[in-house]
Structure 1
Amino acid sequence: MNRRNLLRSAGALVGITAAGGAGYAAHEGGNRYYNGPVSDHFDGVRFFNPDGAAPKGFGDLWKWRREGERQVWPENIPLSATAKPAARVDDLTITMVGHATMLIQMDGLNILTDPVWSERASPVSFAGPKRVIAPGIAFEDLPPIDLVLLSHCHYDHMNLQTLTRLQQTHDPLVITPLGNDTIIKGTGLKTQVMDWGQSASFKHTSVHCLPCHHWGARGVKDRSMALWASFVLTSPKGAVMFIGDTGFDKGRPYQGLASLGPIRMALLPIGAYAPEWFMADQHQNPAQAVEGFRIMGARYAVGHHWGTIQLTDEGRNDPAIALHQALEAQGVEATRFRPLQASDVWKVPPI
């Protein structure tokens, strides 16, 4: 494999960039994952961020790899103990598994976000970004899983091995944006596919699929053929927002949420942002996460997408440090926005 193709493949593996420039060339035969009408965020072949920046191209990827200042992470961080969740929780508890994987126990339901229990964020077991800390909940200690929120198809968020294990042991429903159901079809999981602006009911909870500023790919020729999204859960216990990945995009992912009621908990990404000239259009930094938290008027927030898998240049603890600095600078109590580490449990206070 030549250097150009190696860089292209490496970018697609970790969900940072793929080949190509700002424009999109039509894939031979059309979209391999989704066949639907043109919309304000789908051109008939690929999805896009309306009025937003397109993913960076190969030239920028090469510049970053050539000029970046990648910090050294520890190879392994011992996990002293794993969390052992209750079978059901009446109110609201968040348990950190790692990266963007969290267990939401809410009003009697058990919900997983972007579940990854594999050692690497990669299509192969022998290469690709490797986790430096074990999952905060052993897979065998999971309570009965009712629902999975799957935000997009990058390898650090969509892990087919984990999804197959979940189908075999829990058989949950997966709610995911357009096109992603095709990618996970082989797992045998039940899926409900949603477009931006759509809502669905699951038992006594409503799930709302909302825009965020990102993209998706599983290889070098399928960029943006499956949609990405954030979710808001609403139930009698309050509203919970989950964003797997997003660029800040002038705060647009955090606007217009008033109709969903007060957000009791927001699960927001705070990592994989350095260097910002390259990452800003797809990964917000901690200060932007705090600003988004304030825009939406959430009461509490968890900072995720840091400390588990090294995707970008910042040091392992840099996002947590920067989050505390941003909270202080923006006048937000540190107890309201916590950067959870693997196995941390937060019993969320009521609003």
Structure 2
Amino acid sequence: MTEQTERASRDTPAAPSGRPSVAGGGLQPLGRIRNDWPRSFADRLTAPLPGLRAMARLAREGAVRPGPDGLRDIPLLPFAPGPLPPAGPGTLAVTWAGHASWILRVGGLTVLTDPVWSRRILGTPARITPVGVRWEDLPPVDAVVISHNHFDHLDAPTLKRLPKDTPVFVPAGLGRWFARRRFARVTELDWWEAAELGGVRFEFVPAHHWSKRTLLDTCRSLWGGWVLTDRDDRKVYFAGDTGYGHWFAEIGRRHPRIDLALLPIGAYDPRWWLSDVHTDPEEAVRAFQDLGARRMAPMHWATFVLSSEPVLEPLTRVRAAWSRAGLPREDLWDMPVGASRVLAP
């Protein structure tokens, strides 16, 4: 596996007026963990976090999980595991393992996104569909990207299965978490910064979200998505967790003609509680259009019950929104858990 190659950094324009400024900085060295990050990234929030009044309302209404009618369709959730497609240096393929966990085959690398192979995560019922790909069926993992530190995206038991020399790309402020677990090749990036591994560029891009893992670390590390670009300039955008907002248009401006956007469509009800940090299906389609991407694959649904919408509703709503927008049906890759798609050259 090739290490970082020398390449000139791309220009990093300043953030538009009235929006949070970000560091930027083009191509960064691999294996960089910095000690000079700010104590908090709360200035990057695009909406205030819920206060005591909102939490009291949530407790009063109790609308955190679907009722029996919303759960009855669990047996109908799409699950179709299959073998991973062959993948050479020129292949761009994606396999959905469930939730926000993807196996990306790009530029000859196998990359995992937010890998969660555990049956349970803290504070959440057990997964309602199995993992789409058994861990023992994975090819050697060349890299991992992490969007943020919430338990359904940063799963310690899964990461413990990886060799400690696996290259890991993480948000600013999260490197120490991996260093404490003896990961030796951790690259920590700010928004709009990138590093290169084996000819594939990994760029960390903004999201409308937040971070918290313990009672004392709210917004102590950053959150975001990733744009992976191969030698042929083909691009996959992994959004991680995000609400709807201006960053999608900015990502699309800096990365024109994204070939595939992996966008979240679930965990959105009640809207008064979750709209700032989780897109609903209609907003995911709007985000896709803002990006100017060519194809969209929905994610962040059909795996864990995190909110109160019926379990099948995200799929039916995203299909309806796609149709209303007049978008080509073949460009919506609404894949079952475990399924793969290969992007033709």
Fold shared by both chains (TM-score > 0.5): yes
Which deviations, in whole Å up to 9, do the C-alpha atoms of 1:4-49 show, x marking residues without a partner? xxxxxxxxxxxxxxxxxxxxxxxxxxxxx98525xxxxxx421135
- Please list every run of 5 or more consecutive structure 2 residues that lacks an aligned counterpart in the other structure: 1-32
For residues 214 and 333 of structure 1, the distance between their equivalents in structure 2, rounded to whole angstroms, comes to 29
Partner of 2:338: 343
Other structure's SS at 1:217 match: coil
Which 4+ runs in 1 deviate beyond 4 A? 74-81
Bigger CA drift: 65-74 or 186-195?
65-74
Which deviations, in whole Å up to 9, do the C-alpha atoms of 1:86-122 show, x marking residues without a partner? 5634311110100000101112111110000011121
For residues 45 and 107 of structure 1, the distance between their equivalents in structure 2, rounded to whole angstroms, comes to 36
User: Of 144, 150, 163, which residue of structure 1 is paired with 2:146?
Assistant: 150
TM-score, structure 1 as length reference: 0.81
Closer, same or farther in 2 for the Cα pair 1:264/1:241, shift >3 Å? Answer: same
Partner of 2:117: 117
Determine if contact 1:121/1:155 at 8 Å carries over to the other structure: yes
Other structure's SS at 1:192 match: strand
Partner of 1:279: 274
Determine if contact 2:45/2:209 at 8 Å carries over to the other structure: no
For residues 288 and 280 of structure 2, the distance between their equivalents in structure 1, rounded to whole angstroms, comes to 12
Determine if contact 1:214/1:247 at 8 Å carries over to the other structure: yes
Partner of 1:25: none
Partner of 1:132: 128
Determine if contact 2:85/2:342 at 8 Å carries over to the other structure: no
Closer, same or farther in 2 for the Cα pair 1:79/1:306, shift >3 Å? Answer: closer
RMSD between aligned alpha carbons?
2.3
For residues 151 and 108 of structure 2, the distance between their equivalents in structure 1, rounded to whole angstroms, comes to 30
Partner of 2:13: none
Which deviations, in whole Å up to 9, do the C-alpha atoms of 1:115-143 show, x marking residues without a partner? 00011121xxxx63321111000000001
Residue 330 of structure 1, CA deviation: 1.3
User: Of 303, 311, 315, which residue of structure 1 is paired with 2:298?
Assistant: 303
Determine if contact 2:147/2:170 at 8 Å carries over to the other structure: yes
Determine if contact 2:73/2:312 at 8 Å carries over to the other structure: no
For residues 338 and 318 of structure 1, the distance between their equivalents in structure 2, rounded to whole angstroms, comes to 17
Which deviations, in whole Å up to 9, do the C-alpha atoms of 1:198-234 show, x marking residues without a partner? 1111111111111111111112221111110111111
Residue 187 of structure 1, CA deviation: 3.2
Determine if contact 2:248/2:291 at 8 Å carries over to the other structure: no
Give the total of aligned pairs. 305
For residues 75 and 65 of structure 1, the distance between their equivalents in structure 2, rounded to whole angstroms, comes to 26
For residues 349 and 185 of structure 1, the distance between their equivalents in structure 2, rounded to whole angstroms, comes to 38
Q: How does 1:56-135 map to 2 (within 5 A)?
A: 56-69=50-63, 70-71=65-66, 72=68, 73=71, 77=75, 82-86=81-85, 88-89=87-88, 90-122=90-122, 128-135=124-131
TM-score, structure 2 as length reference: 0.82
Other structure's SS at 2:162 match: helix
Partner of 2:24: none
Partner of 1:21: none
Taking every aligned residue pair, what percent have the same amino acid on both sides? 31
- Please list every run of 5 or more consecutive structure 1 residues that lacks an aligned counterpart in the other structure: 1-32, 38-43
Partner of 1:288: 283
For residues 53 and 321 of structure 2, the distance between their equivalents in structure 1, rounded to whole angstroms, comes to 32
Determine if contact 1:167/1:187 at 8 Å carries over to the other structure: no
Closer, same or farther in 2 for the Cα pair 1:79/1:289, shift >3 Å? Answer: closer
User: Of 229, 247, 256, which residue of structure 2 is paired with 1:252?
Assistant: 247
Residue 252 of structure 1, CA deviation: 2.2
For residues 282 and 206 of structure 1, the distance between their equivalents in structure 2, rounded to whole angstroms, comes to 27
